Chains A and B, each alone.
Chain A
Amino acid sequence: MLQDNAAFVTLDGVSHVYGGAGGTLAVEDLSINVNRGEFAAVVGPSGCGKSTLMKLATGLQFPFKGAVRVAGEVVSKPVKIAGMAFQAPTLLPWRTTLENLLLPLEIVEPHRSRIRRHKAEYVERAENLLASVGLRGQGSKYPWELSGGMQQRTSLCRALIHEPDLLMLDEPFGALDAFTREELWCVLRDLWQARRFTTVLVTHDLREAVFLADTVYVMSKRPGRIVARREVGLPRPRDLEVTYTDAFTDIVHEMRERIGLVRRT
């Protein structure tokens, strides 16, 4: 396989400092390589600069040192091809669920100039997407009428409605209860399986990372450094049952020990 050609998101020796030169070092010498269509997860203790990594990879911030490349180009402005979802669903309370989904389409070209005249087509697309995450017919409800899990599904849909090449997730399931979280793992797994967008998932949940990702990176505490990279060889499609197998537990265990080592040093 041609590794270099396939590289989609590349961080090369990236360091980032907050508050200008001499400020706090957030991440140090990060090197990550995510191929097109790959699902990568970044795991680390809280405050390790995982969110900084997200912002660097999407061009919301620029590295103090090193280079970030997305789709072969050095990132010099917000990337425009990314969808993002966060721990908080950040839906707009004055818009219905469906209208919330249409928001990215009102901003991203070519949809932006088409949406007025082809409204029905886009509404149908949004409704299909809602149906695919188990929210069929919920489009007319306002966000506050939805449960936390449903809001997070909507947020995920909003990140995907414009069919981005890159999906960036910052602890998207962190605020959900354990059962809802596992349900949403499967929702995300199915969406990814169907569309194969390149995904970077930032999380502090090892089981989540191992279940969903092809490759898991472990970050040290601040300043964040990559201390381990592990390919998850588990066959796809993965059933939730896989999380109870020995193979799965072994990987989680192994990564857990790495983080334990990070803590002690």
Chain B
Amino acid sequence: MNAAAEARLLRFAPWLVAAAILVVWQVVCSLFDVSEFIFPAPIAIVRSLIQYAGPIAMHAWQTFWTTMAGFAIGVAVGMLLGMAIGSSRFVYRAFYPLLVAFNSIPKAAFVPILVVWFGIGSLPAVLTACLICFFPIVVNVATGLATLEPELEDVLRSLGATRRDILLKVGLPRCLPYFFASLKVAITLAFVGTVVSETVASNEGIGYLMMSAGSSMKMPLVFAGLFVIGVMAMAMYECFAVLERRMTGWAHRGTSAA
């Protein structure tokens, strides 16, 4: 096999695998005549995707914007906390254990509390998305700042640089690769947060759609909801992966540069 063909195969590999899984899934469902109420076949899912295209699009939009809102807040909070933790040993010692403890609580457990505070609707979903996604950003930004080479800091301090100078000129640019890597993780987590919240406490969004479809035994529609979430999360992940390559090419020279 020549290099060009190999590159093409690599590019299409994920599509090939996805297609193969769908084919096997369809064949198994058809062969054993699996009931649509238990495990719908891909064709049934596609059929319901088309049939309910309007409502699905509406709920998908709801899920999308709540996720992005929660993600945006999570990024802002995560960056500020990460900067505080990464640039001060005191804050690091004081807050890090608390953050770890907080992060190990399942975020679904927060949803009832948020509902009591803010009622049913978009706000609990936004906040759940935010709560679940800020942690990886904090950890990555803090790590990026805390692992600054001491020699480099000496060079700058001997020039009379202030802490702010060091943060702006070296600390932040240096932690950008960590930051973008964490964005990719955070965006997928944000979708998890939104959907979890919607299934419990909302009248809108894909999470709500799946719950109500499940309770009226429309299993193909439930699976269609899963499919839509997967596609949205994957698309956003890819967006941030592209952004990461654009912004921090210098940190990935080993794999991309010749």
- CB pair B151 A58 closer than 8 Å: no
In chain B, what residue has the closest Cβ to A55? B154
Contact in complex: B173, A94 (CB < 8 Å): yes
Q: Which residues of A contact B159 (CB under 8 A)?
A: 78, 80, 82-83, 104, 107-108, 162
CB neighbors of A among B137-185 (8 A): 149, 151-152, 154-161, 165, 169-170, 173-174, 176
Does A27 have its Cβ within 8 Å of any Cβ on chain B? no
Most buried by A among B151, B158, B160: B158
Q: Which of B152, B158, B248, B253 meets A82, CB within 8 Å?
A: B158
In-complex Cβ contact of B251 among A60, A93, A106, A168 (8 A): A93
List residues of chain A with CB within 8 A of the CB of B253.
Answer: 144
Would A92 and B173 be within 8 Å (CB), given that A86-B151, A107-B165, A142-B250 are in contact? yes
CA distance A86 to B152 in the complex (A): 9
Q: How many residues of B contact A (CB 8 A)?
A: 21
Residues of B within 8 A of A158 (CB): 155
Distance A115 CA – B167 CA, assembled complex (angstroms): 19
Q: Is the CB of B169 within 8 A of A107?
A: yes
Q: Which of B158, B174, B250 contacts A84 (CB 8 A)?
A: B158
A78-B157, A80-B160 in contact; A103/B173 too (CB < 8 A)? no
Q: Which residues of A contact B152 (CB under 8 A)?
A: 90, 92
CB distance from A53 to the nearest CB of B (A): 13
- Please measure, in the bound complex, the distance between the C-alpha atom of A107 and the C-alpha atom of B159, giving whole angstroms: 7
Chain B proximity of A26: nearest CB distance (Å): 16
A61 closest partner in B (C-beta) = B154
Chain A residues with Cβ below 8 Å from B151 are 86, 88, 90
Contacts of B155 in A (CB 8 A): 84-86, 90, 158-159
Docked CA distance A109–B165 (Å):
13
Contacts of A84 in B (CB 8 A): 154-155, 158
> What distance in Å separates the Cβ of A105 from its nearest Cβ neighbour in chain B?
9
B250 x A88 contact (CB < 8 A): no
A79 at the interface (CB under 8 A from B): yes
- Measured CB to CB, the nearest residue on chain A to B155 is A84
B166, closest chain A residue (CB): A107
Residues of A near B173 (CB, < 8 A) are: 92, 94
Say how far A217's CB is from chain B's closest CB, in angstroms.
21
Query: Who on chain A is nearest to B249 by CB?
Result: A94
Per the bound structure, the CA–CA distance linking A106 and B156 in Å amounts to 11
Query: How far is the CB of B196 from the nearest CB of chain A, in Å?
Result: 38
CA distance A63 to B156 in the complex (A): 21
Q: Write the chain A residue with the least CB distance to B168.
A: A106
What residues of B have a CB within 8 angstroms of the CB of A142 in the complex? 250
Contact for B149 among A58, A82, A83, A88, CB less than 8 A: A88
Residue of chain B at shortest CB distance from A87: B151
Chain B's nearest CB lies how many Å from the CB of A135? 19
Interface 1/0 per residue, A60-100 and B, CB below 8 Å: 10000000000000000011101111101010111000000
Q: With A and B bound together, what is the CA distance between A158 and B253 in angstroms?
A: 24
Give the Cβ gap from B86 to chain A, nearest Cβ, in Å: 18
Inter-chain contact B157/A103, CB cutoff 8 Å: no
Instruction: Flag B175-208 by CB within 8 Å of A: 1 or 0 each.
Output: 0100000000000000000000000000000000
Interface residues of A in 130-182 (CB under 8 A from B): 142, 144, 158-159, 162, 168
A218 to B159, CA, bound (A): 28
Residues of chain B lying within 8 A (CB to CB) of residue A104: 159
Answer whether A107 and B161 are a contact pair too, CB < 8 Å, given A90-B152, A144-B253. Answer: yes
Expressed in whole angstroms, the Cα–Cα distance for A83 and B159 within the complex equals 7
Is A78 touching B169 in the complex (CB atoms < 8 A)?
Answer: no
What is the CA–CA distance of A106 and B253 in the complex, to the nearest angstrom?
Answer: 27
Contact indicator A60/B250 (Cβ below 8 Å): no
Interfacial residues, chain A to chain B (CB-CB below 8 A): 55, 58-60, 78-80, 82-86, 88, 90, 92-94, 103-104, 106-109, 142, 144, 158-159, 162, 168
6 A–B contacts, CB within 8 A, in A order: A79-B158, A90-B152, A103-B169, A107-B165, A159-B155, A168-B158
Beyond A80-B158, A144-B253, 19 additional contacts (C-beta under 8 Å) are A60-B154, A60-B157, A60-B158, A78-B158, A79-B158, A80-B159, A83-B159, A84-B154, A84-B158, A92-B152, A92-B170, A93-B251, A94-B173, A94-B176, A94-B248, A94-B251, A109-B160, A144-B250, A158-B155
State the 7 A-B residue pairs at the shortest beta-carbon distance, nearest first: A80-B160, A90-B152, A86-B151, A94-B250, A58-B158, A82-B158, A107-B159
